[in-house]
Structure formats: structure tokens, C-alpha cells
């Protein structure tokens, strides 16, 4: 039971979670791949809220950077999770645990520490992940305008879409002790997803992915802020 709980908890903090070539990559994301955001061993803070209440804080570290394919690693002490987070995780486990294959990303130690690891692609042009059946799916290209869409087709044939829905060009998003410009992206979730109703991202050209929000079908919300303090 605890091992399954760990996998679900890991899913909640995955962040979900740079060589100098300027060529168009096979996945459609070009730009420089050797950037300050993804220097090996750099550490970012991850702060999680469930329905507006602090639920978890941890760190993620850049373990490797393979020409823009960046592997992040981190650890969560399960015993420090808030009661609300534990309740939510157990709910996910009991009803939908088999749907989310978090096992490929996490390992559990004997003292109930969760070690997680995941890969994303980050360049000076934008950000993408591989969480849709392992396929590259752009979250955003920083210079693209509002209404730009990014699509992926899952193994079952279903097409999913991410859309840029806001880009004010103003320093209006709270980020640590500052305000920054962000690009807001909204994601269509898979039709068979048993839990999540909607996903929202915010990205910044310097700091990458800085915010995720998961709206669950039961009305609860999970918000994740990612802050690379080393760049401030």
C-alpha cells in the first residue's frame, strides 16, 4: 500500500515537474541547448499547494543534460506530506492507481523516501515533455503568439492539444520576490483520464516552466510553483 501511495505522490510533484546548436530538432523544438537554466547540478525549489494550502516543498536537481534532453531528480520524505495531500493521494490510489504509471519515474527507500527522476526537453526556444506515451509534446515556444496550438497523438489514436491562451507581455506573475512575464498554456486531458479535468502551465523565457495547476474532476486543485533560485 505504501509503495503505491509513493508512486501517486510522485506523480503529483513531477513536474510536472540546454551544446549551443541552433538547428530545428526532430521534435520541432530548436534553439540553444546549453543555457543557464539547465546547468548540471543546478537546483530548483518546488512548492505544492492543495486547494490553496501548503502541502509539500522539495527540490529538483538537474542530473544530466544530453543536448537539451534534461533529466531532473529529486527526493520527497513521505512522512512530511500534509494530511490533505496524503488523503488525496490515497483517493487517487484506491480509485485510479493503475491508470497513472508513475512506477517508471520513482523508487522507494526503506525509510520511506521517494526518489523520483524524469526527462523533459528545454532549450532557449521553449519547453516540452514526454509524458504522453513517451512522445515529445511541446508545452510552449516562448515567442509563439496567443492561440498557438501544440498537438500530440496518443498510441490509442486520440489527439490532445495544448493552447497558448494568455501572453500579456507584462511583469504581472508573482515569482519568488519578483513579478515576471509568463506565457499561459492550457491543456486538453485524455478522454479516459479518470481524475484530472484540466491542466494549466505558465512558462518564462529565462526560468522555463514556473507553474502547473491540475484541476481535478472532484473540484479540488493542485498548484505547483517551480523556482530556480540560482538564477535570481
- The residue ranges of DSSP E strands in 25-112, in sequence order, are 43-50, 53-66, 69-77, 106-108
Give the span between the Cα atoms of 97 and 7, in whole angstroms. 9
pLDDT of residue 86: 73
Q: If we measure between CA atoms, which residue out of 193, 70, 205, 202 comes closest to residue 130?
A: 70
Euclidean distance between CA atoms 208 and 17, whole angstroms: 11
Q: What is the pLDDT of residues 45-58, one digit of tens each?
A: 999 999 999 889 99
Q: H or E segment at 11?
A: helix 2-13
Count how many domains the chain has. Answer: 1
Q: Please report the pLDDT score of residue 90 as a whole number.
A: 67
What's residue 14's pLDDT?
46
Give whole-number Cα distances, 67 to 24, 34, 123, 140, 218, in Å.
13, 7, 9, 18, 40
Reference 188, options 144, 146, 150; nearest CA is: 150
Which residues of the chain register pLDDT less than 50?
1-26
The range of the structural domain enclosing residue 177 comes to: 2-231
In this structure, what CATH number is given to the domain that contains residue 76? Answer: 2.40.360
Sequence-distant (≥ 6) Cβ neighbours of residue 135 within 8 angstroms: 152, 153, 154
pLDDT at 120 (0 to 100)? 97
pLDDT for res 37: 98
pLDDT of residue 211: 98
Number of Cβ within 10 Å of residue 51's Cβ equals 13
State residue 181's pLDDT score.
Answer: 98
Q: Report d(CA 39, CA 63) in Å as an integer.
A: 9
Question: What pLDDT sits at residue 27?
Answer: 63
Amino acid at each position: 500500500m505504501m509503495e503505491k501511495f509513493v508512486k501517486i505522490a510522485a506523480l503529483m510533484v513531477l513536474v510536472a515537474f540546454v551544446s549551443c546548436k541552433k538547428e530545428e530538432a526532430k521534435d520541432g523544438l530548436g534553439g540553444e541547448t546549453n543555457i543557464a537554466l539547465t546547468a548540471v547540478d543546478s537546483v530548483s525549489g518546488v512548492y505544492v499547494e492543495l486547494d490553496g494550502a501548503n502541502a509539500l516543498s522539495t527540490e529538483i536537481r538537474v542530473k544530466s543534460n544530453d543536448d537539451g534532453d534534461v533529466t531532473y531528480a529529486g527526493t520527497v520524505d513521505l512522512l512530511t506530506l500534509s494530511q490533505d495531500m496524503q488523503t488525496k493521494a490515497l483517493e487517487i490510489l484506491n480509485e485510479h492507481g493503475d491508470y497513472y504509471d508513475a512506477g517508471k519515474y520513482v523508487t522507494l527507500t526503506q525509510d520511506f523516501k521517494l526518489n523520483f527522476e524524469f526527462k523533459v526537453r528545454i532549450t532557449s526556444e521553449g519547453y516540452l515533455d514526454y509524458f504522453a506515451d513517451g512522445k515529445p509534446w511541446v508545452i510552449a515556444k516562448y515567442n509563439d503568439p496567443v492561440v498557438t496550438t501544440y498537438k500530440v497523438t496518443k498510441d490509442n489514436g486520440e489527439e490532445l492539444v495544448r493552447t497558448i491562451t494568455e501572453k500579456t507581455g507584462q511583469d504581472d506573475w508573482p515569482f519568488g520576490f519578483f513579478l515576471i512575464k509568463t506565457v499561459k498554456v492550457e491543456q486538453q486531458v485524455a478522454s479516459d483520464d479518470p481524475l484530472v479535468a484540466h491542466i494549466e502551465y505558465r512558462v518564462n523565457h529565462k526560468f522555463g516552466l514556473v507553474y502547473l495547476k491540475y484541476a481535478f474532476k472532484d473540484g479540488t486543485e493542485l498548484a505547483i510553483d517551480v523556482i530556480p533560485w540560482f538564477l535570481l
